[in-house]
């Protein structure tokens, strides 16, 4: 791998892309450290130091994806989450709105319009979320029990400047990600998420090291992390290849077709999306508990004991069910067997032993359902292993070291390595990985 790095930096144009990507990521991390105008940064630091579980509750996932910028109310406090939400929303709207489905089939021009719609929706989400987070910070939801005022001046003009600044920060993040995709290496948005998630690792390991039995805890956590990474790499690289044969046909005076290929179906077609959706929905019970007040009812107490504690059996069971549901749901949205079968039939392709048209679509749907079952179980196991390890060691489950973190790091890392390897192979160098 070291030889691959050296080969990449010896290639002038590839070196420029790598340095450009690293420069953009450095700018992103710099923006994370810049506080929003109107925020008293010293009070924020005091509240964080006085509370050991500031990243828990409904803000845990959002703070993870922002690289810790959310609780600091920095310029990039919203992170890339508004863009992710807008992108997922546009994908889901393709099923409901025929116009979006038609744009998807128009090629590059249609994709450009969908990207523009995604940008508009991102700005709307960013404005709404920034206003919500400023209100939550002003009301003490970020740091319950902290007496230090995070926003000393709560006048309307200060709040307006904060909302506009955080919204503009999200737009800038979106622009930085697009620049990486166009002029750098890899997918820009994915690399920004990778940077945010990776920045939480030192904090998590420092928290584990400061625990009572720090040597044993650190060794066990590292072994669990490496084992999960090895399993994730193995499964993410696994494919179910459906053979496809194209019949020969005459086009003018030329004979075309007659080739063999395959349809690669990944074991985990949905990626990390089911884990993110399941984690987000499981934050709703925490919100209910927060709004219950000082004298909660028996139902609220039951929710607090069974659904807000990630180590509770009821919480784990619901987590597994949500992951399985969203794995099937998102796979059905992103992969349409009928469309794939129709395209194969249009160009003279067929699966050996299966008739073209509806029988092929039914066969693809059957194979995809079985693969998704295995993929969803794999996601559920990977999602629970870090929580079980932290519970076994007696550590807080709010430590930012979970399935979402590992899946994102491994997935984005593998994709980036493949892109660098493809660039090296195009220039007749040895591959990035031997």
* Per-residue tokens: 358: 């509806």
Give domain status of residue 294, yes or no: yes
Q: Over 70: is that where the pLDDT of 197 sits?
A: yes
Mean pLDDT of 152-165: 87
In the prediction, which pLDDT does 55 show?
41
Mean pLDDT of 242-264: 74
Give domain status of residue 7, yes or no: yes
* Pair type for strands 349-350 and 239-246: antiparallel
What contacts 193, CB < 8 A, 6 or more positions away?
65, 80, 84, 408, 412
> Which DSSP state fits 74?
B
**Span of 347-356, 380-389, 401-410 with lowest mean pLDDT:** 401-410
> Which DSSP state fits 186?
S
Greater confidence, 385 or 393? 385
Pair (258, 325) in one structural domain: yes
Pair (425, 368) in one structural domain: no
pLDDT bracket for residue 291 (50, 70, 90): low
Pair (154, 274) in one structural domain: no
Task: Write down the mean pLDDT value for the chain.
Answer: 79
Cβ pair 411, 229 in contact under 8 A: no
pLDDT bracket for residue 136 (50, 70, 90): confident
Q: Over 50: is that where the pLDDT of 421 sits?
A: yes
Mean pLDDT of 160-171: 91
Question: How many other β-carbons are positioned within 10 Å of the β-carbon of residue 184?
Answer: 23
Pair (58, 83) in one structural domain: yes
**Span of 121-125, 188-192, 332-336, 390-394 with lowest mean pLDDT:** 390-394
pLDDT bracket for residue 256 (50, 70, 90): low
In the prediction, which pLDDT does 229 show?
84
Give domain status of residue 206, yes or no: no
Give domain status of residue 407, yes or no: no
Q: Over 60: is that where the pLDDT of 93 sits?
A: yes
Whole-angstrom Cα distance, residue 321 to residue 325? 6
Greater confidence, 165 or 421? 165
Give domain status of residue 404, yes or no: no
Pair (186, 44) in one structural domain: yes
Give domain status of residue 239, yes or no: yes
Q: Over 90: is that where the pLDDT of 168 sits?
A: yes
Measured N-to-C along each axis, helices 108-138 and 81-96 cross at an angle, to the nearest 10 degrees, of 130
Q: Over 80: is that where the pLDDT of 21 sits?
A: yes
For the chain, give the percent of residues with pLDDT over 90.
Answer: 10
In the prediction, which pLDDT does 398 show?
54
Mean pLDDT of 404-423: 80
In the prediction, which pLDDT does 249 show?
65
- Among 6-10, 198-202, 280-284, 402-406, top mean pLDDT goes to 198-202
Question: How many other β-carbons are positioned within 10 Å of the β-carbon of residue 278?
Answer: 24
Pair (166, 231) in one structural domain: no
Cβ pair 360, 351 in contact under 8 A: yes
What contacts 28, CB < 8 A, 6 or more positions away?
76, 173, 176, 192, 195
Mean pLDDT of 138-155: 76
* Pair type for strands 260-266 and 239-246: antiparallel
In the prediction, which pLDDT does 27 show?
92
Name the CA dihedral angle for 399, 400, 402, 407, rounded to a multiple of 10 degrees.
-170
Pair (93, 233) in one structural domain: no
What contacts 128, CB < 8 A, 6 or more positions away?
none
Pair (194, 323) in one structural domain: no
CATH number at residue 100: 1.10.3370.10
Mean pLDDT of 352-372: 90
In the prediction, which pLDDT does 165 show?
92
Residue recorded with tokens 């469309």 = 339
Mean pLDDT of 303-330: 82
Pair (149, 240) in one structural domain: no
Pair (183, 327) in one structural domain: no
Whole-angstrom Cα distance, residue 211 to residue 231? 27
For the chain, give the percent of residues with pLDDT over 70.
Answer: 83
Mean pLDDT of 16-28: 90
**Span of 105-119, 194-208, 284-298, 372-386 with lowest mean pLDDT:** 284-298
Q: Which residues pair with 240 in a beta bridge?
A: 265
Domain total in the chain? 2
Residue recorded with tokens 């997918």 = 187
Q: Over 90: is that where the pLDDT of 274 sits?
A: no
Give domain status of residue 406, yes or no: no
Pair (255, 328) in one structural domain: yes
Give domain status of residue 340, yes or no: yes
Pair (160, 236) in one structural domain: no
Greater confidence, 332 or 140? 332
Tens of pLDDT along 174-187? 999 999 988 888 88
Mean pLDDT of 255-271: 79
Q: Over 50: is that where the pLDDT of 53 sits?
A: no
Cβ pair 55, 67 in contact under 8 A: no
Q: Which domain holds residue 188?
A: 1-200+412-434
């Amino acid at each position: 791998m070291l030889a691959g790095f050296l080969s990449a930096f010896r290639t002038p144009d590839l070196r420029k892309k790598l340095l450009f990507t690293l420069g953009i990521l450095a700018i992103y991390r710099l923006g994370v450290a810049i506080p929003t105008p109107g925020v008293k940064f010293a009070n924020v630091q005091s509240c964080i130091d006085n509370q050991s579980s500031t990243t828990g509750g409904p803000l845990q996932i959002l703070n993870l994806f922002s690289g810790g910028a959310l609780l600091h109310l920095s310029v990039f406090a919203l992170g890339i989450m508004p863009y992710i939400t807008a992108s997922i929303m546009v994908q889901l709207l393709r099923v409901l709105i025929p116009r979006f489905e038609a744009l998807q089939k128009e090629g590059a021009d249609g994709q450009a319009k969908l990207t523009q719609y995604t940008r508009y929706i991102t700005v709307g989400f960013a404005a709404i979320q920034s206003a919500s987070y400023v209100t939550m910070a002003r009301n003490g939801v970020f740091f319950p029990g902290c007496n230090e005022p995070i926003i000393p001046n709560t006048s309307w003009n200060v709040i307006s400047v904060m909302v506009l600044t955080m919204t503009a920060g999200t737009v800038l993040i979106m622009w930085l990600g697009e620049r990486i995709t166009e002029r750098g290496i890899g997918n820009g948005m994915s690399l920004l998420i990778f940077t945010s998630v990776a920045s939480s690792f030192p904090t998590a390991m420092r928290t584990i090291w400061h625990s009572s039995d720090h040597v044993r805890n650190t060794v066990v956590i590292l072994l669990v992390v490496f084992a999960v990474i090895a399993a994730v790499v193995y499964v993410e690289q696994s494919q179910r290849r459906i053979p496809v044969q194209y019949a020969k046909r005459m086009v003018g005076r030329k004979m075309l077709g007659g080739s063999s290929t395959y349809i690669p179906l990944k074991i985990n077609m949905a990626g990390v999306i089911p884990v993110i959706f399941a984690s987000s929905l499981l934050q709703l019970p925490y919100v209910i508990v927060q709004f219950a007040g000082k004298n909660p009812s028996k139902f609220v107490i039951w929710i607090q004991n069974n659904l807000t504690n990630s180590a509770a059996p009821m919480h784990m069971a619901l987590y597994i069910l949500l992951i399985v549901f969203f794995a099937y749901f998102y796979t059905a949205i992103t992969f349409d067997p009928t469309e794939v079968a129709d395209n194969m039939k249009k160009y003279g392709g067929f699966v050996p032993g299966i008739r073209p048209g509806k029988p092929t679509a039914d066969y693809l749907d059957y194979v995809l359902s079985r693969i998704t079952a295995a993929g969803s179980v794999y996601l559920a196991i990977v999602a629970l292993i870090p929580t079980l390890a932290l519970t076994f060691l007696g550590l807080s489950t709010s430590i930012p070291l979970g399935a979402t973190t590992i899946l994102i790091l491994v997935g984005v890392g593998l994709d980036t390595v493949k892109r660098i390897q493809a660039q090296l192979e195009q220039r007749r160098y040895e591959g990035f990985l031997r």
